[in-house]
Structure 1
Amino acid sequence: MKYRQLTKEQLLELHVEFSKFLATQQIDAKEWTKIKKENPKMAEEELNIFSDVVWEDVLTKTKYLEHISENDINLFKCNSKEIIRIYIKWNNPAKSFLQTTDFEWFLKNPLDKAIDYFKASKKYSKNRNLELFEMIEMGSQISKGELFSFISQLIR
């Protein structure tokens, strides 16, 4: 398995897609019930293959990731050959990006001296999608890139 198996909740959300996936392998609902009961190893393998297909599709389409914690924000633009990172750090330990009022203050005052910015880029050290997957597993979330674009324009 290249990634990880989708959670039960994710599989429930994708039940229509999973049914189509099974159909491509000539497995209907009745057959799937039988496989789960009589050959759980095969059922597990089908779930693993489906999960990899879904992850591969999602990761290939991912253009931005972000990771927000109390004192810093990591924003990533995920190009095909390299990843661009913007790192934002509070210089004020009393503030937290996880507090709505502090985050809103930050958005209104992005150039305040209490905030530092760093920007860098690097080529992927392994397969792009694997790197993005690892970042997601460590807490990054897929985003539309709005915050990345906003900050990128400020710190050119």
Structure 2
Amino acid sequence: MKYRQLTKEQFESLHEEFALFLATQSIDVKEWNQLKKEKPQVAEDEMNVFSDVVWDDVLTKTNYLEHFSKQSVNLFKCDSTEIHRIFVKINKDINLLEQEGFEWLLSNPTDDAVEYFNGTKKYTSERNLEIFDLIEKGSAIAKGELFEYFNRLISK
């Protein structure tokens, strides 16, 4: 398995796609129920293959990630060959995990308490695996507005 198996909730939300996937494997509902009972490892393998297909599709389409902690934000832009990172650190008693703290940052991006670091690195392994690793460590897929906002701000 390349990534990790989807959660029960993720499988439930993708039940139609999973049914189509099983159909491409020539497995109908009756056979699937039989597989789960009589050959649970084969059923598990099918779920793993489907999970990898879904993850690969999602990760290939992922261009931005965000990871918030109480006093810092990591923003990532995931290009095809390299990843760009903007690290925003708050040296003040502000909690970025709360709406009020986040709004303070957006209203005061040039405050002396705000530090910025940025860099770029080439992927050391497969792009999607590195993005997956960041997600597993707490990053969330994002639309990129924050990355682009802070990138414009620090590029001036």
Task: Give the TM interval when normalised to the shorter protein.
Answer: over 0.9
In 1, Cα distance between equivalents of 2:42 and 2:30: 15
Give the corresponding residue for 1:91: 91
Give the corresponding residue for 1:139: 138
- AA in 2 matched with 1:110: P
| SS of equivalent residue, structure 2 residue 35 | helix
Give the corresponding residue for 1:71: 71
CA RMSD of aligned residues (A): 0.6
Give the corresponding residue for 2:33: 33
Any residues of structure 2 matched to 1:32-71 within 5 Å, and which?
A: 32-71=32-71
In 1, Cα distance between equivalents of 2:41 and 2:104: 53
Give the corresponding residue for 1:119: 118
Give the corresponding residue for 2:4: 4
Larger deviation, residues 102-111 vs 121-130: 102-111
TM-score, normalisation: structure 1: 0.98
Unaligned stretches of 5+ residues in structure 1: none
Query: How many residues end up aligned between the 2 structures?
Result: 155
In 2, Cα distance between equivalents of 1:102 and 1:45: 45
| SS of equivalent residue, structure 1 residue 4 | coil
Off by >3 Å, runs of 4+ in structure 1: none
Task: Give 1:91 deviation, angstroms.
Answer: 1.1
Task: Give 1:109 deviation, angstroms.
Answer: 1.1
Give the corresponding residue for 2:151: 152
Unaligned stretches of 5+ residues in structure 2: none
CA-to-partner distance for each residue in 1:18-76, whole Å, 9 max, x for gaps?
00000001111111011111110100000000000000000000000010000110000
- AA in 2 matched with 1:32: W
Larger deviation, residues 28-37 vs 73-82: 28-37
In 1, Cα distance between equivalents of 2:61 and 2:43: 27
Task: Give 1:99 deviation, angstroms.
Answer: 1.7
% identical equivalent positions? 59
Task: Give 1:149 deviation, angstroms.
Answer: 0.8
